Structure 1
């Protein structure tokens, strides 16, 4: 049964999952994985080899989905 709550309907439209950007440190084509360094300095092992080492990549739920532009990051505290 579908809900009539407008907030829950809106949330249902949004894509789920964890999305971030990081720099690809190394690519292991044999294993199909890449080591990606996030902007926080944390390194993660991600599935996918579509982005070369030294370039930025989009990560969605631990998978490299494609190249990301090299843009500056600004942090604001409210």
Structure 2
């Protein structure tokens, strides 16, 4: 059943899941997985081997979705 609520229709257009940027630290091409380090220093194992070691990658739902630009990151408290 389709909804007529415009807010729910808008939310339905948005992509789901969490996307973050991490640095690839190691690749296991045989298993198809990589180890990536988040900005906090936490290391996670993700699916995908398309981004070389030492480069930044976009990670969504435990999978490398592509290379990320190597830009500086700043935290600003207001």
Tell me the TM-score normalised to structure 1 length: 0.92
Q: Counterpart in 2 of 1:38? A: 38
CA displacement 1:42-75 (0-9 Å, x = unmatched): 1100000000100000111100111110011122
1:1-78 alignment, distance < 5 Å: 1-78=1-78
Return the alpha-carbon distance in structure 1 between the equivalents of residues 74 and 5 of structure 2: 35
1:17 CA displacement:
1.0
Count of equivalent residues: 78
Q: Secondary structure at the match of 1:76?
A: coil
Tell me the TM-score normalised to structure 2 length: 0.92
1:76 CA displacement:
3.2
Return the alpha-carbon distance in structure 2 between the equivalents of residues 8 and 39 of structure 1: 33
CA displacement 1:9-38 (0-9 Å, x = unmatched): 110000001111000000000110000001
Aligned residues: CA RMSD: 1.1
Listed as ranges, the gaps of 5+ residues in structure 2 are none
